[in-house]
Structure 1
Amino acid sequence: MIVRQTPNAFKILFTLRGSVIPHIYPQVLLITLLSALISAVQHGIPSSFESYSTAPFTLLGIALSLFLGFRNNASYQRWWEARGLWGQLVFDARSLTRQLLSFIDEETEIGRDTQRCMIHLTIAFTHALRHRLRGTAPWQDVERFVEPEYHISMRQAGNLPEYLLRLMGKKLGYSRRHQLSSDLMIQNMDERLTSMTIVLAACERIQNTPLPFAYILLVHRTTYLYCFMLPFGLATSLGWVTPLVCGVIAYTFFGLDALSEEITDPFGVAPNHLPLTTLSRTIEINLLEALGETDLPSDIAPQDGCLQ
């Protein structure tokens, strides 16, 4: 996620980090070259495109703007919902840790072990969820927080975050049977686990339910058709300025299309995706600090104005 401050008026023209220009420059260049060719034909043979009017392009441009607007709103809604879910996970992790440290009997060794195990499993769940959403290997981040006796069964689990939640639920049941806390507080802590389960399910829903392909295809086709036809309507009235105008319009439409496509899946590692690694590290630091540990991992600093 881009975290740099808004660049000044000069730098904003040349900023590429987080920009969609690297993804769309071939299309913009193609439209600009096509516009230059059509302008050259119009300059050499003035009567080539006299019958073309800008009125149809105005109407089509309005329709295309609406299509792109709807798609960008839908994509940003998915991005913002995902950010809200990870904010909820931060809340749940901190709240569960506070409850564990406050209401689990720590006068006994078994109570202290239960606190430490549950908090470590919460950290492991956070890392496991990030890796599941990004499709990466979680073991290096997860295994160090899970007791070795569970490593084999953990690797065999089809849904690692769900497995860790079930393990945390068993630990709560263990706490109840050994009367490490009251039934009311066990119920409150179980509600936090339920909320974390909701976060997991909602993130999987966002990841596994893309925008309808037919809608995306319609926007793509309309954008290309509009940008390819536009120079024919502008060459007569604008002349050699046509390549510049068409290039700017192509940059705008192709850029909106590419940006909405990028944030449709907000869990990746592109500059405009959510900083899941940073959020996971924040939860890890907070929970280890609550346990009283001093050997804490360092905060993740932005690199080139971007958090991963």
Structure 2
Amino acid sequence: NEGITISYHNRPARDRSMTVLYDNKNHLKVIFQIQGSVWPQVLPICLFNSFVTIVIYILREKDVIDLHFDGGKGMQYVSVLVSFFVVSSIGTTYNRYWEARGFVGKALLSASLLADRAAIYSANSQSAKAQLWRSALHGRLSQLVKYSMHIIQNERGALINVMTTRSEKMATGDDTTTSLLKKHGLRRTLIANHIDVLEEKESHGGRLASWVDAIIQSNGEYLENPLVIHEKMDLLSKTSAFLDAFHGLIKFSTTPVPFITTQMGRTITFAWVLFLPFVLISDLKSNLWEATAMVFLITYGFAGLTLAEVEMHD
């Protein structure tokens, strides 16, 4: 089964791990676990802000220069705006996560039901030709699932290579699936011109789905007990359901969160976080360590949530 060969980036091990397991009852482990955490990214920012707080305090106590300022109501308004951006971005990313999960779940369920029911419906046919039919269906369905998973893991459309072997076989007609497609009038749907990345991805997915449909349609030529009409329609409906979910994934991957809102939120959040030591030191003049601790915690909260949103989106 040559078909479409997919070349992946050399992704580091942490990027290939898509599930973070943890014990929700173990508070210390949850707090200090590094895998799946933003601690490595947010800790330098927290330490930098704490260092700036200490420097501002020492410079003022030594009567060198007083760098603190009172933001007043303006800082309060900015704080509300930052909170809105942080919370809304987290909510948007989480909702997109579940939307993508819904598409993936529907696609995998359809593929699983198609494979199971094809095996059940053809169980009474045990000839060599029947085994060939099941093997061809298994191969094309596996390709369809693998390509869909590639779309998920490479949202920006990484390296997708369509091998010329398949095109040559289609031209010469020496492939079983190609002959089936020709016979059922589906070959024409496989020669689409790819105008852009979206059409290219959809064309590949539609091509693989057409191969699956053609194999299902050809059951009468391979099975001693051909599928009855409702069994064949059931299998074809599972292919359609998979393709609907696949197109949902394509739409999802090509419709990102608007850049302008992301840019505004990140800019105002990090500007607010970096100005935080200059404001808090004026409210807590008498205690350096209290001011430093508050700056550390607030920086961790806002910068950490922003970086957590980036990690969830990734």
TM-score, with structure 1 as normaliser: 0.72
Task: For 2:95, give the aligned amino acid.
Answer: Q
Residue in 1 that maps onto 2:132: 113
Task: Measure the CA separation in 2 of the matches of 1:194 and 1:37.
Answer: 64
Task: Measure the CA separation in 1 of the matches of 2:68 and 2:261.
Answer: 35
Change in Cα spacing, 1:182 to 1:149, as seen in structure 2 (3 Å) is same
* 1:62-77 correspondence runs (5 A): 62-77=80-95
Provide the secondary structure at the position in 1 that maps to 2:27.
coil
Instruction: Select the structure of larger CA radius of gyration.
Output: 2
Contiguous gaps of at least 5 residues in structure 1: 266-308
Residue in 2 that maps onto 1:210: 256
Residue in 1 that maps onto 2:118: 100
1:66: Cα distance to partner?
1.3
Residue in 1 that maps onto 2:8: none
Residue in 1 that maps onto 2:26: 8
Deviations 1:189-239, CA, capped at 9 Å, x for gaps? 111111111121111222222111111101111111211222222112224
Q: Structure 1 residue 170 and structure 2 residue 170: aligned? A: no
1:28: Cα distance to partner?
2.6
Query: Which deviates more from structure 2 when the two are superposed, residues 90-99 or residues 191-200?
Result: 90-99
1:71: Cα distance to partner?
0.9
Task: Measure the CA separation in 1 of the matches of 2:29 and 2:126.
Answer: 60
1:5: Cα distance to partner?
1.7
Residue in 2 that maps onto 1:234: 280
Query: Which deviates more from structure 2 when the two are superposed, residues 247-256 or residues 115-124?
Result: 115-124
Provide the secondary structure at the position in 1 that maps to 2:284.
helix
* 1:1-308 correspondence runs (5 A): 1-6=19-24, 8-45=26-63, 48=66, 52-53=70-71, 55-104=73-122, 106-135=125-154, 149=175, 158-159=200-201, 160-175=204-219, 180-239=226-285, 240=288, 241-265=290-314
Task: For 2:94, give the aligned amino acid.
Answer: Y
* Percentage identity across paired residues of the two chains: 16
Contiguous gaps of at least 5 residues in structure 2: 1-18, 166-173, 179-186, 195-199
Change in Cα spacing, 1:12 to 1:46, as seen in structure 2 (3 Å) is farther
Q: CA RMSD in A?
A: 3.3
Question: Contact 1:60/1:226 (CA < 8 Å) preserved in 2?
Answer: yes
Change in Cα spacing, 1:130 to 1:50, as seen in structure 2 (3 Å) is closer
Change in Cα spacing, 1:7 to 1:37, as seen in structure 2 (3 Å) is farther
Provide the secondary structure at the position in 2 that maps to 1:10.
helix
Residue in 2 that maps onto 1:281: none
Change in Cα spacing, 1:131 to 1:138, as seen in structure 2 (3 Å) is farther
1:183: Cα distance to partner?
2.1
Question: Contact 2:50/2:296 (CA < 8 Å) preserved in 1?
Answer: yes
Task: Measure the CA separation in 2 of the matches of 1:40 and 1:181.
Answer: 84
